[in-house]
Chain A
Amino acid sequence: MAQTMVIDGKSVEINGERNILEVCRKAGIELPTFCYHSELSVYGACRMCLVELENGQIVAGCSTPAEAGQVVKTTTPRVQKIRKMALELLLANHDRDCTTCEKSGMCKLQDLAQRFGVREVRFGQRDKKVDIDDSSLALIRDPNKCILCGDCVRMCEEVQGIGVLDFAHRGSDMTVTPAFNKPMAEVDCVNCGQCAAVCPTGALIVKSQTNEVWQALHDPTKTVIVQVAPAVRVAVGEVFGLEAGQNTIGKLTQALRQMGFDKVFDTSFAADLTVMEEGTEFLERLQKGEHLPQFTSCCPAWVKYTEQYHPEFLGNLSTCRSPQQMFGSLAKKYYAEELEIDPKDLVVVSLMPCTAKKFEAARPELSTDGMPDVDVVITTQEVVRMIREAGLDYANLEDDSLDMPFGFTSGGGILFGVTGGVSEAVLRAAHYLLLDEELDQVNFTEVRGTEGLRAAEVDVGGQKVKLAIVFGLANAKRLLQQIKDGEAEYHIIEVMACPGGCVGGAGQPATNPEVRSARTQGIYTADKAQQLRKSYQNPLIDNVYEKWLDAPNSEKAHDALHTTYGARRRILGEGISLGDNHTAKQLEVSVCVGTGCYLKGAYDLLHNLGYRLQEAKLNQRVDLKATFCFENCGGGVNVKIGDTLYSGMSPAKTDAVFGKIVDELEK
């Protein structure tokens, strides 16, 4: 017989729910929460989900296991009183300038204060204001609005495996902050924005660039074009009362045109191009057996993560720019010319489900003649605000079609919006790219799924290709470790930082697992609706190669569509001086003790050098420093003597390094 418990007088079955909260929600009672997310660990901090047990005990529903025979009441006078008090206390600490807050209308704190009838706050208002951190290109952190629920902390640590944010200080001074209270731009944040996606208030929000877009649209000297990413089309509608996951690309095109964009294009077209480039690159690596596994490079959060944490795998990343950047590059390098306008007067806007794309667009290597290839990146959330500002009745807009020459896509290009999509699109094309033969098979369902780490094996032209598909950087971290330990072997690995891939991006409207799954379905439906399903069938792709780029992976294609990566330091800061003998005319010797060098024995080398210098009584003449990362993590310990950087050093080479120091001193 099934186990049951009693909730508000009704008997409810328990079917493996982890706690009382889940059983209540199953029974249709929407217990309020700030700090509970089904995908994160249970924290039990916000005290909103309190329930009263039969014995009068009040417990947090999220952190109390559901037991058979339990009798629970969710709305008793005591529970109501405590919830309201907790809300008032949170509000007393919260910057309540709701009218100018970006989160207004979507704020959980505002919502619960309304729901529980908080009409006054009996406590004084916190008057100390802390500076807002807007250093990041993707996010704004406003500690004055933080309610210390810790959602962002757990998201970054548990799902992304980074831990950019954590609690610091204590009691009334407690804050959630990056290491050493540094600005977000100076720490290891990869800009995935998942912290903002779970933030219940306006403490972490996506940096809005709608003003820049309006400005460009209002400038008569500019031609403004926009590219729409696959995942955006299945998410805008839900905000305007349409079904979650409905593909509204037609309405979106209409809306963008009415706002004043000169051309509306599709990033999925550039995704088709990515399939050609990345597929060709992969097959070449596969044949040569070089730089395998190949990692996808479409996700800018993953790319930055690799640069910071795994420079040893940079050679494995596909050199392909992401579809957004391929599009921008083509627009600035070729399309402006075709329009007979100066590239300076062409404004490329991209509409993305992603916050990290804002950072990617600003990367100096992704520019043409000093101009960024993509000028402004706005997220789905931002375009929704623009549609509202323009007063458009989105749900009832008439469909319009995308523009040429970048407005036609195969189904494969659209798949980039979901986890496994890049892999499936590449698989659809691989057979053709390898053997120049059509394959009847279209769908590769083995790469689809909702698990954060999946594996598949597919036959490509008689060769078994092993794939891994990953989302969540914590999963990627685990996989990289397995590869290093020799426990896993793959040929190609697709990594997306956000849960479910781009449909779950942090630039999207509020996401939960159900909405995400509806959007995923929306992408697969959109794929099916395309006349052409495989990227190489897209006639626009042929045009691009014929007109501009010759062939996949040609020199011209490399120049426009590929890039290189470099190691990147995680936390910006000064070196550690090993002595306090700061006299003039000292030779500066720095030994890198960043992770890469540390693992190769940087500490022992440093120790040996300190010892040797002391022995030779040279320690007064040398300022020996330990430093973090010369961004040259390839081969062995990096040592900088004066102005010269020596790589590939090791403890065994202490004598050589010491010799170089002596030479430098004698100069």
Chain B
Amino acid sequence: MAKALPVVDAEERMLQERQFIKVNEIIAQHGKEESTLIPILQKVQEEYRYLPEEILTYVATALGISPATVYGVATFYAQFSLDPMGEYIVRVCDGTACHVRRSTDVLNAIRKKVGLSPEQKTTDDLGFTVETVSCLGACGLAPVVTINDEVYGNVTPEAITEILDTLQKREGK
């Protein structure tokens, strides 16, 4: 059996995380049943920040299902992305409560700030990804925005612009 990779330092670890070897560990953890496809894809997305084409073909081969089927599953669920995602994933709630409390203005302000459009969801430098979601279950705080795992409630266009500004400066972007 292959040995586990030694953890050297943070930079090295980052490198490993991007590594192909990960996908094998993920498959080994979940087993090669067709029913494990979705958990495997979730894990792959966690590791790689998106679902690379070659990895999906590889997963299909390992599970003995057709790549077209894996592609079908990966494109069916909104949680999966076939394009590389940004370091900061900004999700703007556009459920009913948020919508009536002007989430559209917030969304437009975010897109303007990071330079994205409804067609382009991720900045070229892979800094930010902006998406809308239908409900975050925090309607009392409408309009709501999440940035990675952080939740921001009662957001205004001005407030979110300021938050993004801080993040951009922190990243030197």
Contacts and interface: CB of A to CB of B under 8 A. Distances in A.
B120 interface: no
A526 B54 CA distance: 51
Contact of A598 (B21, B62, B65, B82): B62
Contacts of B66: 157, 162-164, 166, 179
Interface stretch (A10-18, A218-226, A358-366, A604-612): A604-612
Interface in A10-48: none
Contacts of B15: 579-581, 619
Contact of B67 (A167, A571, A580, A606): A571
Given A168-B68, A180-B53, 10 more contacts: A165-B68, A166-B68, A179-B70, A573-B54, A578-B18, A579-B18, A593-B61, A606-B21, A614-B12, A628-B54
A606 B20 contact: yes
A177 interface: yes
B10 interface: no
28 contacts: A162-B66, A166-B69, A168-B68, A168-B71, A168-B76, A169-B75, A177-B68, A177-B71, A178-B68, A179-B60, A180-B71, A181-B71, A187-B67, A188-B67, A573-B54, A573-B57, A575-B54, A576-B20, A576-B52, A576-B54, A579-B19, A580-B15, A593-B61, A607-B24, A608-B2, A608-B3, A611-B3, A615-B6
A611 B72 contact: no
A578 B61 contact: no
B32 to A, nearest CB: 11
Contacts of B54: 573-576, 626, 628
A313 interface: no
A382 B6 CA distance: 63
Contacts, number: 103
A595 interface: yes
A370 B37 CA distance: 46
B58 interface: yes
B19 A180 contact: no
Given A166-B68, A573-B57, A614 B20 contact: no
Interface residues of B, number: 34
Interface string A593-632: 1110010000110111011001100010000001010000
Interface in B1-38: 1-3, 5-6, 8, 12, 15, 18-21, 24
> Which 4 pairs from chain A and chain B are nearest by CB?
A163-B66, A179-B67, A166-B68, A607-B2
B75 A576 contact: no
B55 to A, nearest CB: 6
Interface in A563-577: 570-571, 573-576
A148 to B, nearest CB: 12
Contacts of A571: 57, 67
Interface in B76-121: 76, 82
Given A179-B68, A179-B71, A579-B15, A603 B24 contact: yes
A575 B24 CA distance: 16
Interface of A: 157, 162-170, 177-181, 187-188, 570-571, 573-576, 578-581, 593-595, 598, 603-604, 606-608, 610-611, 614-615, 619, 626, 628, 651
Contact of B57 (A157, A179, A581, A606): A179
Given A603-B24, A614-B5, A166 B72 contact: yes
Contacts of A593: 58, 61
Given A573-B53, A603-B24, A578 B65 contact: no
A614 B8 contact: yes
B58 A576 contact: yes
B109 to A, nearest CB: 27
A450 to B, nearest CB: 27
Which has the most chain B C-beta neighbours within 10 Å: A571, A574, A581?
A: A571
A386 to B, nearest CB: 34
Contacts of A177: 68, 71
A570 B76 CA distance: 23
Contacts of A611: 2-3, 5
Nearest to A579: B15
B168 to A, nearest CB: 22
B67 A578 contact: no
A574 to B, nearest CB: 7
A136 B2 CA distance: 42
Contacts of B62: 598
Contacts of A628: 54, 57-58
Which has the most chain A C-beta neighbours within 10 Å: B8, B24, B55, B75?
A: B75
A180 B5 contact: no
Contacts of B3: 608, 611
A579 B57 CA distance: 19
A389 B57 CA distance: 45
A610 B21 contact: yes
A604 B2 contact: yes
Contacts of A610: 5, 19, 21
A155 to B, nearest CB: 13
Nearest to A599: B61
A308 B124 CA distance: 37
Given A573-B53, A579-B19, A626-B20, A163 B69 contact: yes
A187 B69 CA distance: 13
B75 A168 contact: yes
A163 B24 contact: no
Which has the most chain A C-beta neighbours within 10 Å: B12, B54, B76, B82?
A: B54
A164 B68 CA distance: 6
B80 to A, nearest CB: 11
B65 A163 contact: yes
A167 B21 contact: no
A619 B24 CA distance: 19
Contacts of B57: 179, 571, 573, 628
A580 B18 contact: yes
Contacts of A187: 67-68
Contacts of A178: 68
A180 B73 CA distance: 11
A136 to B, nearest CB: 15
A611 B2 CA distance: 9
Nearest to A179: B67
Contact of B6 (A594, A606, A614, A619): A614
Given A163-B66, A166-B72, A603-B24, A598 B2 contact: no
A595 B2 contact: no
Contacts of A181: 71
B76 A169 contact: yes
